Amino acid sequence: MIRADRRARQLAYILSALAGYVDAVGFLMIGGLFVSFMSGNTTRMAVGIFDHASDWQRAVALIGSFVVGVVAGSLVGRTAGRRHRAILSLVSLMLALAGGLALADYSLAAALCMAFAMGAENATFERDGEVQIGLTYMTGTLVKAGQRIAGALTGGARDAWLPYAALWLALATGAVAGALAHHALGRFAIWPAVVLALGAAFAASVLDDRTAGEAGGD
Q: Residue 141 carries which side chain, given as an amino acid letter?
A: T
Q: Residue 80 carries which side chain, given as an amino acid letter?
A: A
pLDDT value of position 1: 52
Q: Where are the domains of the chain?
A: 6-211
Query: Among 73-82, 93-102, 103-112, where is mean pLDDT lowest?
Result: 73-82
pLDDT value of position 52: 63
Q: Over the chain, what is the mean pLDDT?
A: 88
- Asked whether 20 and 175 are in contact (CB, 8 A), the reply is yes
Indicate if the pLDDT at residue 89 is higher than 60: yes
Bigger pLDDT: 137 or 38?
Answer: 38
pLDDT digits (tens, 9 = 90+) for 68-87: 999 999 999 888 777 889 99
- Asked whether 151 and 102 are in contact (CB, 8 A), the reply is no
The terminus-to-terminus CA distance of the chain in angstroms comes to 24
Pairing of strands 130-131, 126-127: antiparallel
Q: Does domain 6-211 have CATH number 1.10.357?
A: no
The arithmetic mean of pLDDT across residues 19-42, rounded, is 93
pLDDT band, very low/low/confident/very high, at 2 (cuts 50, 70, 90): very low
Indicate if the pLDDT at residue 217 is higher than 70: no
Q: Could you give the 3-state DSSP secondary structure of residue 127?
A: strand
The residues, any chain, with a CB within 8 Å of residue 138's CB and separated by 6 or more, are 167, 168, 171
pLDDT band, very low/low/confident/very high, at 55 (cuts 50, 70, 90): confident
Could you give the maximum distance between any two Cα atoms of the chain, in Å?
59
Q: Which of 111, 118, 113 is nearest to 55 (CA)?
A: 111
% of the chain with per-residue pLDDT over 90: 56
pLDDT value of position 99: 97
pLDDT digits (tens, 9 = 90+) for 126-150: 776 677 777 878 888 889 889 989 9
Bigger pLDDT: 50 or 101?
Answer: 101
pLDDT digits (tens, 9 = 90+) for 153-193: 988 788 888 988 999 999 999 999 999 999 999 999 999 99
Q: How far is CA 15 from the centre of its chain?
A: 6
- Asked whether 7 and 208 are in contact (CB, 8 A), the reply is no
